[in-house]
Amino acid sequence: MSAETDTTPFTETDERRSLRREVAKLASGYGREYFVRQARNGEKTTDLWLDMGTHGYLGVALPEEYGGGGGGIGDLAAVCEELAAQGCPLLMMVVSPAICGTVISRFGTEEQKTRWLPSIADGTLTMAFAITEPDAGSNSHDITTTARRDGDGWVLRGRKIYISGVDEAGAVLVVARTEDARTGRLRPALFVVPTDAEGLEYQPIDMEIVSPERQFTLFVDDVRLPADALVGDENAGIAQLFAGLNPERIMAAAFATGIGRFALDKATEYVKGREVFGAPIGAHQGVAHPLAQSKIEIELARLMTQKAAALYDAGDDTGAGEAANMAKYAAGEAACAAADRAVQVHGGNGITTEYGMAGLLVAARATRIAPVSREMILNFVGSHSLGLPKSY
Ligand SMILES: Cc1cc2nc3c(=O)[nH]c(=O)nc-3n(C[C@H](O)[C@H](O)[C@H](O)COP(=O)(O)OP(=O)(O)OC[C@H]3O[C@@H](n4cnc5c(N)ncnc54)[C@H](O)[C@@H]3O)c2cc1C
């Protein structure tokens, strides 16, 4: 083999590495203390969000002609991971620039792109995303929120649950179903609904996650929308939806990996300093090995996330779909294990508010459930990758 073996699939470009360093620097200026303080005081992270927008990090993957950086989802995932690794995991990164930004830039009209993308890129507007419904749950084929034609426009009616960041959002990209005039069958389609639209109401859900970003129940009660609220083609809703779901999974994997890194950094720092039995506890293999395991699991999850992002950015939606699901699974598992081990090595301190480790458990746990649960990923891999009978 030649000495010039190509390592590009396994290393990031200088540009990507520099992006990571810059984001980490900016985020460390805010840090975990800021994030937790805002959450506990019922306040938001708007200043961090706008700072990210001003520096071009939120819009890094959006097209340049609409105020973005013209990069790929791999760049945006790197931004999301570095933020989380500094203790500031921002869920709206997954939703606003990644899902909503992708769907609008790929399928929106010129007018919709001009209207929404520049403000998503600079952070002056965040867009929430609403697909989950109380009765349908993981089975999104069963959603019942409907969009009925009303003259030139639409009337939406239904209910959504666990929708992140509605209180901070200027609009919500809502997945509803339209009726096929010929067959009467319902098909999913995507609508931008301004959060101040008449008939749209939302209520916060009390969650145990320590985060300034909250989840909401959304009541969509005969909300009237103009014709141009529909994004893309009414007949191609499923394909458009899937186009947004790959970036969602890649970003969720990056989000989880960042949480895992943060937990592992804190744990490592602690075991180097805490002395029991006359030596730092990190000298005991019973303490060091679980942390080493986490290091390996996190690196593997990062690698798979980078592969998924590279496939997506190369236009391979199918390959990216499988890799993004696997990355999300691996990252969720790695984050949960890292958070659990970080609590354990802190001993009693692991459960104190001062050390803030226990709060990570729920945040990490959420990455196993949302945006797609580990079981639904295993279902997908079982049927899609292994060719087993589809059970769902
Ligand atoms: C913090 C957080 C933020 C969120 N933000 C958003 C958002 O912004 N927008 C949005 O639309 N949604 C959001 N969600 C919702 C999230 O996508 C759903 O919670 C998730 O898809 C699971 O759906 P569910 O909660 O209804 O669980 P259910 O579908 O009721 O599932 C419950 C359990 O049963 C398992 N299960 C269900 N069916 C099967 C099966 N066939 N085989 C094996 N196991 C199965 C699931 O894996 C899960 O463990 C968020 C959720 C959380 C926790």
> Average pLDDT in the 240-255 region?
92
- Could you give the angle at the alpha carbon of 112 between the alpha carbons of 47 and 162, nearest 5°? 55
| CA of residue 371 to ligand 1 center, whole Å | 7
- Which residue has tokens 């145990």? 208
How far from each other are the two terminal CA atoms of the chain, in whole angstroms? 46
- Short-list 193, 194, 67, CA closest to 120: 67
The per-residue pLDDT for range 280-319, each reduced to its tens digit, is: 999 999 999 999 999 999 999 999 999 999 999 999 988 9
State residue 3's pLDDT score.
Answer: 54
377: Cβ contacts below 8 Å, ≥ 6 apart: 325, 326, 328, 329
State residue 99's pLDDT score.
Answer: 96
State residue 4's pLDDT score.
Answer: 63
Q: Please indicate whether residue 371, judged by its CB atom, sits closer than 6 Å to ligand 1.
A: yes
Residue 181 pLDDT more than 80?
A: no
State residue 1's pLDDT score.
Answer: 47
Residue 2 pLDDT more than 70?
A: no
* Nearest atom (ligand 1) to Cα of 373: 47
CB atoms within 10 A of CB 311: 22
- Could you give the angle at the alpha carbon of 58 between the alpha carbons of 56 and 60, nearest 5°? 60
Query: Which pTM does this prediction carry?
Result: 0.97
Phi and psi torsions of 226, nearest 5°: -70, 165
* Nearest atom (ligand 1) to Cα of 374: 47
Q: What's the alpha-carbon Rg for the chain, to the nearest Å?
A: 21
The per-residue pLDDT for range 38-52, each reduced to its tens digit, is: 999 999 999 999 999
Least confident among 134-138, 153-157, 185-189:
185-189
**Measured in whole angstroms, how far is the alpha carbon of residue 284 from the centre of its chain?**
36
Measured distance CA(108)–CA(233) in Å, rounded: 9
Q: Please indicate whether residue 129, judged by its CB atom, sits closer than 6 Å to ligand 1.
A: yes
Q: Do the beta carbons of residue 79 and residue 93 sit within 8 Å?
A: yes
> Average pLDDT in the 87-106 region?
97
Which spans in 164-274 are helix H? 237-273
Q: Please indicate whether residue 145, judged by its CB atom, sits closer than 6 Å to ligand 1.
A: no
Nearest CA, atom 18, ligand 1: 370
- Short-list 360, 345, 351, CA closest to 263: 360
